[in-house]
Amino acid sequence: MTDSSRRVAITGIGPITPIGNGVDGLWDGVRRGESAVRPISRFDPAPFSCRVAAEVEFEALDFMDPKRAHRLDRFSQIGLACAQMALADARLSPAQAAAAGMGIYTGSALGGIAFAEEQHGVFVERGIRAISPLLALSVFGGAASSAVAIELGLTGPSVANANSCASGAIALGEAARLIRDGRAEVMLAGGVEAPLAPLTFGAFSLIKVLSGRNDDPATASRPFDADRDGFVMAEGGALLVLEEYGRAVRRGAHVYAELVGYATTNDAHHMTAPRPDAAETARAMTGALCDAGLAPEQIGYINAHASSTVLNDGTECRAIRRALGAHADRVAVSGTKGLHAHALGATGAIEAAICALALERGHLPGTANLRSQDPECDLDVVPPGGRDERVPYLLTNSFGFGGINASLVLGAA
């Protein structure tokens, strides 16, 4: 981001999440403070050590006609629904968005892999002629963003990244760069994930990163808690309308927040374990602060990645201390995955949506299921229920397999 005179406003939010859909549904879910994790209903999870997840309540026909729904898999259906909600929330028609040259940047760790898994079963049982002719058009990471662009007529820049669990945050940061650099006036950006299929889910269970707390699903995801034992998988998505601030003001748009800073780094250490010294995680945070032109003391809240894995949460706390110095003792921190679980590449976008609403509505989300805070996570962690407090700026983190780190800084409108 190079042109400080061009600011980036968040003017539309389109979320489909386990705790609620749409702006009001998502925020009601945050304030309700109840975990959406339940026993898996999408398939039989009996063979796996983890048998819980956070599923979304989503009916494609609420957003598209039967013909369109039939031509899209769940991944692309969710993406299209999020896009439609985001545009409607921003009070932009598809024609207006297209006329403004809107593009779309999305992130997804796994894209249409669940549909591919389903079709592989069909292939094994009935042969190649039985599989869907749409398979090749559904599995690539850019399928959802392409479906959105085609349906809405968006001819601007279109990029889909697959940077694991940092994907959604990276999509937002890179889209904001386009606006700041004067290469776009308005963008759709965020993440979409539909990973709940047996082989896909089982692969994560096999490497022992998922919680085994099957007897009490609602408490399985417990960020910063001393008894955390792994993350809980989720599905869902969120796309945000990012708009050049002056343009948003001129058309009378409602501005939820500003996206003021972004940075990404790589641990270059291990595919699943964070770098123990947290150096590169911290550098993503300091880079985002530098990009925003802010000192650590100006950050009032951190929405942590806080995946509820044994290694990640403690390492992230070390990174926060390394990045913020003495201010780390004063900044409020919480992790919302105890509510909506971890929708992989979509989570950073879902959490960015929550952060924008937190800035607008003066409430810091709580950390669900925090019962006994891990001494290693020695920060001011916001307890369940949250805290009514207005902050000028916040930072939100997303970290993924492969050591990929991304941080965003949002400011109050």
Q: Which fold has domain 8-250?
A: Peroxisomal Thiolase; Chain A, domain 1 (3.40.47)
Residues with a known catalytic role: 165, 305, 342
Residue 274 carries which DSSP code? P
Residue 233 carries which DSSP code? B
What's the CATH code, domain 261-412?
Answer: 3.40.47.10
Residue 324 carries which DSSP code? H
CA-atom Rg of the chain in angstroms: 20
19, 337, 354 from 54: Cα distances, Å = 9, 10, 17
pLDDT of residue 3: 52
Cβ(403)–Cβ(165) under 8 Å?
no
**Secondary structure (DSSP) of 356-384:** HHHHHHTEEPP-TT-SSB-TTS-SEEPPT
Cβ(179)–Cβ(187) under 8 Å?
yes
pLDDT of residue 4: 61
pTM metric for this prediction? 0.97
**Buried b / exposed e across 8-45, counting CB within 10 Å, b at 16+?**
bbbbbbbbbbbbbbbbebbbebbbebebbbeebeebeb
pLDDT by 10s per residue, the chain, length 413? 345 689 999 999 999 999 999 999 999 999 999 999 999 999 999 999 999 999 999 999 999 999 999 999 999 999 999 999 999 999 999 999 999 999 999 999 999 999 999 999 999 999 999 999 999 999 999 999 999 999 999 999 999 999 999 999 999 999 999 999 999 999 999 999 999 999 999 999 999 999 999 999 999 999 999 999 999 999 999 999 999 999 999 999 999 999 999 999 999 999 999 999 999 999 999 999 999 999 999 999 999 999 999 999 999 999 999 999 999 999 999 999 999 999 999 999 999 999 999 999 999 999 999 999 999 999 999 999 999 999 999 999 999 999 999 999 999 99
**Buried b / exposed e across 111-134, counting CB within 10 Å, b at 16+?**
bbbbbbbbbeeeeeeeeeeebeeb
pLDDT of residue 106: 98
- Tell me if domain 8-250 and domain 261-412 are identical in fold: yes
pLDDT tens-digit series, residues 201-213: 999 999 999 999 9
CA dihedral 385, 390, 392, 395 (to 10 degrees): 0
CA dihedral 109, 111, 113, 119 (to 10 degrees): 180
Rounded to whole angstroms, how far apart are CA atoms 296 and 176?
21
Among 234, 141, 147, 157, smallest CA distance to 189 is for 157
- The SS3 call for residue 98 is helix
Domain ranges in the chain are 8-250, 261-412
pLDDT of residue 1: 39
